[in-house]
Structure 1
Amino acid sequence: MEAIPKHIVAVSALVTNEDSEVLLVKVQWRQDTWEMPGGQVEVGEALDKAVSREVLEETGLIIKPVGITGVYYNATKQILSVVFKGRYISGTIKIPPEEISEARFVDINEENIDQYITRPHMKSRTLDAINAKHITPYETWEVNPYHLVGRIF
């Protein structure tokens, strides 16, 4: 009998401010790099709700996901990562110090990204999100009967 595949699903968001600066966080247990805010999706949680929750928990900011910029897979740890583009709605940066050591908006681009993001897989997904010309729609469905719970695009 074949094993049922088990994967971790994670989400993160590219959130920019009015000056086109990117929201980055430094996680306590990954002090060598900055990264987009995000984390694991909880059981039964829609991806758009998960990314909104994670950004709020890590930064205190309320965002609205507007679409997906990329999907990535960590074959070593079996983590499927979905990156959203998120629009800032409200709030001021307030971090939970037990998890996040720092959070701020940064003027980041291809020339200076290495000063902030040191891990290559995080760098590629951040650059993909920054450079995304199109975003992919996302839908949440319930079935039996079919019911569209939410759609972003």
Structure 2
Amino acid sequence: MARTEYYDDPAAPVPNSLVVAASAAVFDDSGRLLLQRRTDNGLWAMPGGGMEIDESLPEAAVREVREETGFDVQVTGLIGTYTDARHVIAYSDGEVRRQFNICFRAVLVGGELRVSGESHEVRWFTSAELDGLSMHHTQRLRVDHAVKGGLPHLG
């Protein structure tokens, strides 16, 4: 299913859903950040996705990382809340989603790297390697907050 992201765009379609989602900024022992290149838009992003009815947001982040990258992680903190109404995501099936994402900090605890149906590629990046990557600017905001640290983003 294809995905198109809009930000502060008057031509964006009107949202018809709000999905609670979790993502994770996963760091390894060397301080590298785990990212995936998504199949639905070709852009780099942190692993993440919608929360299931029977799980917490941190559990959703852990599950999504495992499903999308093959790695097991432990949530250690909060990067921020990302609920900007100007960010709209349209899917080819007609769903138009308003952004609602809670991004957690996590560390690697096991598993093996693999791609999934949602990722073309999964890789670890040093902070110096992040600048040249193709990613939506709302994802770049999360990456910047994760790498720089500090108080959780509230937005």
CA offset digits 1:115-138 (Å, max 9, x no partner): 1143111101110111123469xx
Deviates more, 1:44-53 or 1:67-76: 67-76
- 2:146 maps to 129
Please say if residues 35 and 117 of structure 1, whose CA atoms lie closer than 8 Å, have aligned partners that are also in contact.
no
- 1:102 maps to 121
Structure 1 residue 87 displacement after superposition: 1.1
Q: What TM-score does the superposition give when structure 1 sets the normalisation length? A: 0.76
Q: Which amino acid aligns with 1:104?
A: R
Please say if residues 15 and 87 of structure 1, whose CA atoms lie closer than 8 Å, have aligned partners that are also in contact.
yes
Cα distance in 1 for residues equivalent to 2:115 and 2:65: 10
Cα distance in 1 for residues equivalent to 2:26 and 2:35: 9
Correspondence for 1:78 among 74, 94, 98: 98
Are 1:92 and 2:103 an aligned pair?
A: no
Please say if residues 117 and 123 of structure 1, whose CA atoms lie closer than 8 Å, have aligned partners that are also in contact.
no
Are 1:66 and 2:76 an aligned pair?
A: yes
Structure 1 residue 79 displacement after superposition: 2.4
Please say if residues 25 and 33 of structure 2, whose CA atoms lie closer than 8 Å, have aligned partners that are also in contact.
yes
Cα distance in 2 for residues equivalent to 1:44 and 1:78: 22
Please say if residues 26 and 100 of structure 1, whose CA atoms lie closer than 8 Å, have aligned partners that are also in contact.
yes
CA offset digits 1:86-113 (Å, max 9, x no partner): 01101120122x221100101124xx53
Point out which structure has higher relative CO (alpha carbons under 8 A, 6+ apart): 2
Cα distance in 1 for residues equivalent to 2:103 and 2:33: 14
- 2:40 maps to 29
In the alignment, structure 2 segments of 5+ residues that lack a partner are: 1-16, 89-96
- 1:48 maps to 58
CA offset digits 1:27-54 (Å, max 9, x no partner): 11121x2111111111232001100000
Q: Which amino acid aligns with 1:49?
A: E
Residue aligned with 2:100, SS: strand
Q: What TM-score does the superposition give when structure 2 sets the normalisation length? A: 0.75
Q: Which amino acid aligns with 2:113?
A: I
